[in-house]
Amino acid sequence: MLDIKFVRENKDIVKENIKKKFQDEKLELVDRVIDFDKEVRELKKNGDDLRSNRKKISDKIGLLFKEGKKDEAEKLKAEVVEINNKLASMEEREEELNKEIKKMMMVIPNIIDPSVPIGKDDSENVEMERFGEPIVPPYEIPYHADILENFNGLDKDASGRTSGNGFYFLIGDMARLHSAMLSYARDFMINKGFTYCIPPFMIRSDVVTGVMSFKEMDAMMYKIEGEDLFLIGTSEHSMIGRFKDQIVEEDSLPITLTSYSPCFRKEVGAHGIEERGVYRVHQFEKQEMVVLCKPEDSMEWYKKMYEYTVEFFRSLDIPVRTLECCSGDLADLKVKSCDVEAWSPRQQKYFEVGSCSTLGDAQARRLGIRTKGPDGTYFVHTLNNTVLATPRALIAYLENNYQEDGSIKIAKALQPYMGGIEKIK
């Protein structure tokens, strides 16, 4: 959410930003917000004038009663009643306007960074850099569900009976490999100096609307019936919400956290839940990184964070590339974002395994997360990035470590978490 003062003083910049995001239907909101804000400020000024006048009249009433001029005092009391009625009406109008302003401000997109490429959708995202050689072996790489089933590691029939489409059972060595990747991701980030956390897996609606747009919320979040609670779609939601309405010590910045959680997503409007595989599912597990920092440090942390993800996947012998998200592919709260994509030797193309974003002070402004410096309080900047989201990352691992004899090579980094074995046969 932008600062109303910024919108008021930079109307053209805000409108140009909306155009860059190809959301022209929101242009009228800028004018409406400015008009409503002007009326609110006028109501405040008029209200202050009326309150000042009421005080003067009240002082006169006291003097008149002391002087025994009861009739004159009663006339002035009637003026005070009239002022009170006007103030009540004005305050009601002011409250209505503020609600409308907030509602509109919540959907006006954040100002994107000047470096963000302009494009309508994810088809216009721009490749930044590749890491590792994307190899296609001389033998066939089976579909990931077939690899899992060959090891008796996947049971979609049973999950269909227990939970429906979009869920899965992972079993045996494949379940162990899945957990080994998560454990390694946890320790990888701890070794980078991040503090490990396990957050609540449900959050209240005021936290949900603080960390994401309404459009994302409707498409992603599962609501608990009869309660003001939602299942998290990523641990970033809880982790940022942890600091709601807090003033953090400036000396404690940057706050660097890495969190584990299951994640739950409706996937409304997505490309469809797979019948056989586990690429797009309603439930998965994730190791996340979250940073709260000073505004001047956010871009430096943004670069560090996606580089950590690249380093993590390369340590598992998985080729990756980074992809700069274009303006039309950025969620409304994001200032800048990039995807990390893993190589699929079976499909001979890259697919998304993580996303890194800086949101400026948008989440902090919505949730009231501030810090105090020599020049007063200000909103912190928040960033988030995927270290590992699996089973999607498990797919990338299986394809890139699948051997001609049907076995799975275990990367050195994972061997301590797999009982020292070098291969799953």
Residue 177 in domain: yes
Which domain covers residue 85, as residue numbers?
4-105
Spatial separation of the C-alpha atoms in residues 144 and 147, rounded to whole Å: 5
Domain boundary, last residue among 79, 105, 131? 105
Helix (H/G/I), strand (E/B), else coil: 403 = coil
Residue 116 in domain: no
Q: Are 32 and 339 in contact (CB under 8 A)?
A: no
Name the residue among 271, 262, 236 with its Cα closest to residue 170. 262
- Give me the pLDDT at residue 260, please: 98
Q: Are residues 177 and 273 in the same domain?
A: yes
Spatial separation of the C-alpha atoms in residues 126 and 123, rounded to whole Å: 9
Q: Are 196 and 184 in contact (CB under 8 A)?
A: no
Q: Which two tokens stand for residue 347?
A: 């499909």
Q: Are residues 323 and 298 in the same domain?
A: yes
- Give me the pLDDT at residue 276, please: 78
Domain boundary, last residue among 73, 105, 137? 105
- Give me the pLDDT at residue 19, please: 97
| Residues forming beta bridges with residue 402, ordered by sequence position | 408
Q: Are residues 69 and 137 in the same domain?
A: no
335 class by beta-carbon count within 10 Å (0-12 exposed, 13-18 middle, 19+ buried): buried
Residue 117 in domain: no
Spatial separation of the C-alpha atoms in residues 42 and 350, rounded to whole Å: 55
- Give me the pLDDT at residue 321, please: 98
Q: Are residues 90 and 126 in the same domain?
A: no
Please tell me the total count of domains within the chain. Answer: 2
Give the DSSP H or E segment for 12. helix 11-20
Q: Could you tell me where the DSSP H helices lie in 106-190?
A: 144-150, 156-162, 172-190
Q: Are residues 227 and 285 in the same domain?
A: yes
| Sequence-distant (≥ 6) Cβ neighbours of residue 91 within 8 angstroms | 47
The CATH code of the domain that includes 181 is 3.30.930.10
Residue 115 in domain: no
Q: Are residues 62 and 145 in the same domain?
A: no
Look up the pTM and report it.
Answer: 0.90
Helix (H/G/I), strand (E/B), else coil: 385 = strand
CB atoms near residue 316 (< 10 Å): 22
Instruction: Return the C-alpha torsion angle 411, 414, 418, 419, nearest 10.
Output: 90
Q: Are residues 168 and 86 in the same domain?
A: no
Q: Are residues 9 and 153 in the same domain?
A: no
Name the residue among 302, 268, 296, 278 with its Cα closest to residue 384. 302
Q: Are residues 176 and 97 in the same domain?
A: no
Q: What average pLDDT values come out for the chain (425 residues) when binned by 10 residues?
A: 93 97 97 96 94 88 81 85 92 95 94 97 96 96 96 94 93 97 98 98 94 82 94 96 97 97 80 72 96 97 98 97 97 96 97 96 96 94 97 96 97 97 96
- Give me the pLDDT at residue 233, please: 94
Q: Are residues 250 and 141 in the same domain?
A: yes
The CATH code of the domain that includes 68 is 1.10.287.40
Residue 113 in domain: no
Q: Are residues 293 and 406 in the same domain?
A: yes
Residue 114 in domain: no
Q: Are residues 345 and 415 in the same domain?
A: yes
Spatial separation of the C-alpha atoms in residues 235 and 258, rounded to whole Å: 9
Spatial separation of the C-alpha atoms in residues 107 and 330, rounded to whole Å: 13
